[in-house]
Structures are given as structure tokens and as C-alpha cells.
């Protein structure tokens, strides 16, 4: 996992260089949209505050730990399930919410319960382009 100054996104494939773009991601064979994954910064902040107090103490995840492609702020991702939205030049469609099981298993940390229904969103890319840090997320009217 590495932070990028910009990410080139390709419709139907994912982010250039990402394991899902290359077809080597754990869930690559599954038919759902996993070309880009997003997580809310607010969920990560709550986890670091032990809010709600489900894991016995605060847990701070570094950006690469959560294994999501994009960290967003001020965007309720569960509202984007099945909806079309734009990030920078890229148009995506929200797929299923992600499960916290893989994060919990990979890190060996008790994050399953505090991230349940808050561990992110899978999305498919409908129109490719570039995403940069700070790009706004815009819900599209024709969703």
C-alpha cells in the first residue's frame, strides 16, 4: 500500500498498479465491483477514540492498514450503494459495502465490531480518469 499524488483509473479494471487492476486481489474472481474501495475518515477517527467502546481500547490504523484505495471525509459511503458518483475525473457506481473481516484477520486486531457497517464501499469504475488527493465526491443526478 502506498499513497499516490494521483491515481489513474480505468473503467472495468481499477486503479493502474493496484492488485485488483492486475487481477491478483484476494476477491478478484468475484463478480461484484471491487475496482476501487473507499473508507470514511470518520470511521477511522471513531476507532482511534474507541467510539463505540467495542474493542477494549483505541486502535489507530495507519493509512495503509485499512487496505482501501481512497479515504474520504464528510461522505456517508453507505448512501452511495448502487448510486453513481464522480471523484475527480472518474465516474463510479457504488457496489456493496465492504466487510471488516479481512482487515481484522490481516492485522490481528479487534476491529470487526467497531467497523461493522463502516468498513468501506466497493465501487466500479464507469468512466476512467485521474483522481488526486482533495478531489471532491459528487453524487450524480442520473443515479
In a domain, 26, yes or no: yes
Per residue in 89-131, pLDDT (tens digit) is 999 999 999 989 988 998 999 999 999 999 999 999 999 999 9
In a domain, 1, yes or no: no
Cell of 38: 473507499
- CATH number of domain containing 130: 2.40.33.20
In a domain, 88, yes or no: yes
d(CA 81, CA 118): 13
Q: What pLDDT does 38 receive? A: 95
Provide the number of structural domains found in the chain.
1
DSSP character for 73? S
Contact status, residue 71 vs residue 1, Cβ threshold 8 Å? no
Per residue in 7-64, pLDDT (tens digit) is 999 998 999 998 878 877 766 666 567 899 999 999 999 999 998 888 788 999 987 8
In a domain, 2, yes or no: no
Domain that holds residue 12: 7-139
In a domain, 52, yes or no: yes
Amino acid at each position: 500500500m502506498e499513497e499516490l499524488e494521483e491515481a489513474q483509473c480505468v473503467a472495468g479494471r481499477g486503479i493502474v498498479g493496484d492488485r485488483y487492476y492486475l487481477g491478483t486481489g484476494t476477491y478478484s474472481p468475484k463478480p461484484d465491483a471491487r475496482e476501487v474501495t473507499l473508507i470514511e475518515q470518520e470511521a477511522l477517527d471513531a476507532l482511534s477514540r474507541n467510539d463505540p467502546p467495542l474493542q477494549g481500547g483505541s486502535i489507530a490504523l495507519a493509512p495503509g492498514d485499512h487496505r482501501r484505495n481512497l479515504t474520504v471525509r464528510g461522505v456517508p459511503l453507505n448512501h452511495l450503494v448502487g448510486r453513481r458518483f464522480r471523484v475527480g475525473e472518474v465516474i463510479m457506481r457504488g457496489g456493496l459495502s465492504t466487510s471488516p473481516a479481512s482487515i481484522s484477520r490481516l492485522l490481528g486486531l479487534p476491529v470487526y465490531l467497531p467497523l461493522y457497517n463502516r468498513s468501506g464501499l466497493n465501487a466500479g469504475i464507469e468512466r476512467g480518469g485521474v483522481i488526486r488527493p482533495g478531489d471532491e465526491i459528487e453524487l450524480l443526478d442520473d443515479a
